Each structure stands twice: as structure tokens, then as C-alpha cells.
């Protein structure tokens, strides 16, 4: 989530609450496939970095009309047509089991995180296109 106007709370607060509700729902229902979620302030706003059992489970949750995410995503897109006070984006990286090369905390002690360099043998990331 990128908050462009912190004073315009009426536009970003609902998105923030929806994000926290979705993560709470995911933690309460491990069958959805979430392994872990780390929240904090990253790169201009609140964010959650999530680890999933599979891309298919992530996509199934994101498109589930009975779960928290899809109705909130639709409401956000409707509201976003009237303001640029807040922006939301999703990035998805697929990795093979055991290929994660360490953990970086972007918010650790106020220093910027350094991303590990991609090796030539590693696949490029893929972006998920969510509804």
C-alpha cells in the first residue's frame, strides 16, 4: 500500500483495515495456504509480505468471493476512481522449495534493505494479475 496523502485518511484507512482483516482471516484458516505473513512499514506505506504453500492457493484465495480479499479489492478499485490518495499493488514471486537465499528485513533499524542480486541461473519473477 502506498499512501500518497496521509491526511486523506478516509481514503486509505478502509484499505488498511481490509488488508489487516484479510491477513487475520488467512491466519485463522491455514487450509487457504498462507504459511506466514509479516507486516510493517515498507517502501512508503503499510505492507504485508506473505509466504504461501502454492501460487494456486494464493490465486484461489484472491478470487474467492466469500473471503475478505475479493470484496475489499473490488471496493478499493471503485473508490480509487475518485482519488489518488492511496495505491495498492501486488507482486508475486515463485520460488522452488529450498531456493530462498535468506531473509532481509527492509525496516530493520531504519536502514534500507539491500536486495540480493539475482543469479543468472535463477528464473525471473512473475507478476500475478488479480481481478
The DSSP bridge partners found for residue 2 are 87
Q: Which tops the pLDDT comparison, 24 or 88?
A: 24
* Closest of 34, 38, 55, 58 to residue 47, by C-alpha: 38
Look at 27-36, 102-111, 115-124 and tell me which has the smallest mean pLDDT: 115-124
pLDDT above 80: residue 124: no
User: Helix 55-62 crosses helix 69-80 at what angle (to 10 degrees)?
Assistant: 60
**Is residue 123 one of the residues assigned to a domain?**
no
pLDDT above 60: residue 106: no
Q: How many domains does the chain have?
A: 1
**Is residue 129 one of the residues assigned to a domain?**
no
CATH number at residue 11: 3.30.70
Q: Which domain holds residue 40?
A: 2-110
**Is residue 115 one of the residues assigned to a domain?**
no
**Is residue 131 one of the residues assigned to a domain?**
no
**Is residue 116 one of the residues assigned to a domain?**
no
**Is residue 126 one of the residues assigned to a domain?**
no
Q: Please give the pLDDT value at position 105.
A: 53
Amino acid at each position: 500500500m502506498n499512501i500518497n496523502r496521509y491526511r486523506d485518511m478516509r481514503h486509505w484507512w478502509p484499505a488498511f483495515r481490509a488488508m489487516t482483516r484479510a491477513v487475520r482471516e488467512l491466519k485463522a484458516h491455514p487450509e487457504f495456504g498462507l504459511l506466514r505473513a509479516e507486516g510493517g512499514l515498507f517502501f512508503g506505506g503499510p505492507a504485508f509480505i506473505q509466504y504461501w504453500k502454492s501460487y494456486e492457493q494464493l490465486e484461489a484465495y484472491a478470487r474467492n468471493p466469500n473471503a475478505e480479499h475479493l470484496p475489499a479489492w473490488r471496493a478499493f478499485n471503485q473508490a480509487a476512481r475518485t482519488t489518488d490518495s492511496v495505491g495498492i499493488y501486488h507482486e508475486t514471486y515463485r520460488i522452488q522449495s529450498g531456493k530462498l537465499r535468506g531473509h532481509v528485513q527492509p525496516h530493520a533499524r531504519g536502514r534500507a534493505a539491500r536486495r540480493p542480486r539475482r543469479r543468472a541461473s535463477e528464473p525471473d519473477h512473475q507478476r500475478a494479475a488479480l481481478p
